[in-house]
A and B are shown apart, each in its own frame.
Chain A
Amino acid sequence: MSKKELKLKTDFRWDKIFKIGATCAGAYVLLVIVIMFVQLLTDSWLVWEKEGLGFITGMNWNPVEGRESFGALPYIAGTLVTSLIAMCIAVPLSIGIAMFLSEIAPPSIREPVSFIVELLAAVPSIIYGLWGLFTFRILFKDWFESPTHDALGEYIWLFADAPFGLDILTASIVLAIMIIPTISAVSREILLAVPAIQREAAYMLGATKWEVFKMSVLPYAKSGLIGASILGLGRAVGETMAVTMLIGNAVGSKAFPIAFFQQGNSLASIIANEFNEASPVGIYFPALIGLGLILLFVSLGINICAHVIIRKMVGAHEGGIKGF
């Protein structure tokens, strides 16, 4: 065999090895997800065995030895409520920003503002938490929570608790501030991806800017904007540090969210707070891992829903899916 043929042969053997390596790397993500679910399930098995489905619907949280009893409902509700309030604030604002950047602002403003918005999406969440804890909480308590509580606290249960600054509303608002850059950066890209011909057709009919947006841009970009919002929701649900620092970290049935100024807790923040305190023996530790499993399922559910919604609405056109 000549030297050249030998080289060719080894080249193609290397080719096969490379293909196998790449395939393994591609399969890695599937493998990790499966192992993660299995690992979390086996390590939290004790709590599912003891509480059954009551672990999801229960309200108790008692790690004292001998009287252990765990229920995840207040934290599931806390996660969902804070994320929803944050979405209610962040989505309209973000779409407004995206509209300003794509439709109204001249390029000389658009470029720098977009740049800043994208940079802010990269600020670590611990820094939002720090700012929330030492700056925002105090201002918010003095300027909003105390006056509202004084005026409405007696009549409306939502404002009944004495405001302290560390509560569900504060955590939700900081969460909203955190996800605004994400949602608006993606929404802006989606609005810019709407073909110019859509706008031109509406302008040709004599529409004003708002009418152009309403008539021809919004319907085209709708699914993409929903995708962008769900991307933000995913972030809000999994957010840990800023929420942990601001939500007040109540446990048990007290943590079930019913009012704005009440101390609550979320799935991620209770894990962050109590994980290192729990001893690996007993049922307390499996209960925390069980919360992690629930969090994983919530996040997976949101993602799959988003995917299905967008698939249904977009059909084939690419721009919408990109954001997701």
Chain B
Amino acid sequence: MKRRIEYRTHFKDNISSRMLSDKIVKIAVITCCVIAIIPLASILIDVVRNGIEIISWTFLTALPGSAASGEGGIVNSIQGTFIMIGMTSAIGIPIGVLSGIYVSEYANSRIGQLIRFYNDVMMQFPSIVFGVFAFLLIVMVLGSFNLWAGAVALSLIMFPIIARTTEESLKLIPDTYREAGHALGIPKSVVTLKVLLTAAKGGIVTGVMLSVARIAGETAPLIMTILGSKGWFRGVDVAMDALPLTIWRLSMLPYDAAVLQSWGAALVLITIVLILNVSVRYVVLYRKGGKLGMLGSIMGGKK
């Protein structure tokens, strides 16, 4: 009997200290969440609060005026951002999808692994280096800042993302699809394009949308490729503006009105990026979950 009581007190001491450390860790972890969420919430609140003050029909549809007085709008940057997205996609999507197809369908495992590794490395490269590269390759040769240089720089960010998502979603398709195609004597290219790409459509569209959201917010490579301008789009061989560039330029000016405009541009940019992301995640990722969801979170975007 005495022994039993001893055991019991021992157990009680033991369990209470263990429960205590468990509780401390729980509290610490919740504190982590709170500490991290405060600045992140503050960013969103600040952008919305400051941006909403200046958002108006004129702001969204007028060309930029004098920065000091805060006249005019940002319509040319919005136009520029969409043109950049279009031109970059024209270069990046075909290369990305084909590269993904090659790794998943054609390459042997060694070469496939090599290319996959370098796609991963490429995704992590500092984007400003792509800007420098496009400047040397295109701007120096053509002699002027132009949209193609910007599109090439951004496509270098875009294609590895699309290649990886394409590859991952092609891998999820069971081999029976391929075998059925071959059994019917259909050439491999047709099986890949008609059967596999149709089945993998969801994943590929996800990759494309996420990479578009990512490049829409890129600033660094645009500084040395499309430079910025104050007018409408005048052709692909001259300088142009884009939303991230406008935000940067205006925020560096010493006028309150310019800074306010830059918050407005930030609100427009964040709206575009978040709409793209939310729609993708709702439509594809959360319905499918699993591996692709993981990939989506990696691709979430940096700049």
A residues touching B (Cβ–Cβ < 8 Å)? Answer: 11-12, 14-15, 18-19, 21-30, 32-33, 36, 39-40, 43, 92-94, 96-97, 99-100, 104, 113, 115-116, 118-131, 133-136, 177-178, 180-182, 184-186, 188-189, 208-211, 213, 231, 234-235, 237-241, 245, 268, 271-272, 275-276, 280, 288-289, 292, 295-296, 299-300, 302-304, 307, 322-324
A-B contact pairs, 25 of them (CB 8 A): A19-B106, A21-B98, A23-B106, A28-B99, A30-B114, A33-B118, A115-B281, A118-B297, A122-B210, A122-B274, A123-B301, A124-B217, A130-B266, A131-B47, A134-B251, A184-B36, A185-B300, A209-B22, A235-B302, A292-B128, A295-B129, A296-B126, A299-B125, A304-B121, A307-B120
Query: How far apart are the CA atoms of A54 and B126 in the complex, in Å?
Result: 24
> In the complex, what residues of B have CB within 8 A of residue A40's CB?
129, 132-133, 136
> In the complex, what residues of B have CB within 8 A of residue A185's CB?
297-298, 300
B29, B30, B47, B111, most chain A CB atoms within 10 A = B29
Is A14 within 8 A of B43, CB to CB? no
Binds A, one of B58-66, B156-164, B230-238: B156-164
Is A29 within 8 A of B46, CB to CB? no
For residue B1, CB closer than 8 A to chain A, the reply is no
> In the complex, what residues of B have CB within 8 A of residue A211's CB?
18, 22
> In the complex, what residues of A have CB within 8 A of residue B262's CB?
130
Query: A32 and B122 in contact (CB under 8 A), knowing A186-B298, A240-B303?
Result: yes
Query: How far apart are the CA atoms of A36 and B125 in the complex, in Å?
Result: 11
> In the complex, what residues of A have CB within 8 A of residue B105's CB?
22
What 1/0 mask marks residues of chain B from 103 to 139 whose CB sits below 8 Å from any chain A CB? Answer: 1011100010011011111101111110011011100
Query: How far apart are the CA atoms of A12 and B187 in the complex, in Å?
Result: 6
Choose one: B26, B163, B224; the contact of A276 (CB below 8 Å).
B224
What 1/0 mask marks residues of chain B from 42 to 85 whose CB sits below 8 Å from any chain A CB? Answer: 11001100000000000000000000000000000000000000
Minimum distance in angstroms from A99 CB to a CB of chain B: 5
Query: How far apart are the CA atoms of A120 and B41 in the complex, in Å?
Result: 9
Q: Which partner residue on chain A sits nearest B32 by CB separation?
A: A96
Is A303 within 8 A of B124, CB to CB? yes
Minimum distance in angstroms from B105 CB to a CB of chain A: 7
Q: Which partner residue on chain B sits nearest A123 by CB separation?
A: B270
Q: Which partner residue on chain A sits nearest B218 by CB separation?
A: A124
> In the complex, what residues of A have CB within 8 A of residue B46's CB?
131, 134-135
Query: How far apart are the CA atoms of A63 and B6 in the complex, in Å?
Result: 80
For residue B176, CB closer than 8 A to chain A, the reply is no
For residue B253, CB closer than 8 A to chain A, the reply is no
Choose one: A92, A128, A275; the contact of B43 (CB below 8 Å).
A128
B47, B114, B251, B297, most chain A CB atoms within 10 A = B297
Query: How far apart are the CA atoms of A26 and B35 in the complex, in Å?
Result: 43
> In the complex, what residues of A have CB within 8 A of residue B127's CB?
238, 240
> In the complex, what residues of B have CB within 8 A of residue A134's CB?
46, 251, 259
Is B118 within 8 A of A122, CB to CB? no
> In the complex, what residues of A have CB within 8 A of residue B159's CB?
28-29
Is B303 within 8 A of A125, CB to CB? yes
Interface residues of B in 89-104 (CB under 8 A from A): 94-96, 98-99, 101-103
Interface residues of B in 151-192 (CB under 8 A from A): 156, 159-160, 163, 187-190, 192
> In the complex, what residues of B have CB within 8 A of residue A96's CB?
28-29, 31-33
Is A92 within 8 A of B32, CB to CB? yes
Choose one: A19, A24, A123, A271; the contact of B132 (CB below 8 Å).
A271
Query: How far apart are the CA atoms of A93 and B32 in the complex, in Å?
Result: 5
Query: A29 and B99 in contact (CB under 8 A), knowing A15-B188, A119-B277, A289-B132?
Result: yes
> In the complex, what residues of B have CB within 8 A of residue A276's CB?
223-224, 227
Is B115 within 8 A of A26, CB to CB? yes
What 5 A-B pairs have minimum CB-CB distances, sorted nearest first? A124-B217, A238-B126, A96-B32, A121-B300, A25-B98
Query: A122 and B36 in contact (CB under 8 A), knowing A22-B106, A185-B297, A289-B132?
Result: no
Is A234 within 8 A of B187, CB to CB? no
> In the complex, what residues of A have CB within 8 A of residue B220's CB?
240-241, 268, 272
Is B118 within 8 A of A30, CB to CB? yes
Minimum distance in angstroms from A194 CB to a CB of chain B: 13
Is B26 within 8 A of A210, CB to CB? yes
Q: Which partner residue on chain A sits nearest B38 by CB separation?
A: A177
Minimum distance in angstroms from A318 CB to a CB of chain B: 10
Q: Which partner residue on chain B sits nearest A288 by CB separation?
A: B132
Minimum distance in angstroms from B287 CB to a CB of chain A: 13
Is A11 within 8 A of B187, CB to CB? yes
Choose one: B107, B118, B210, B293; the contact of A29 (CB below 8 Å).
B118
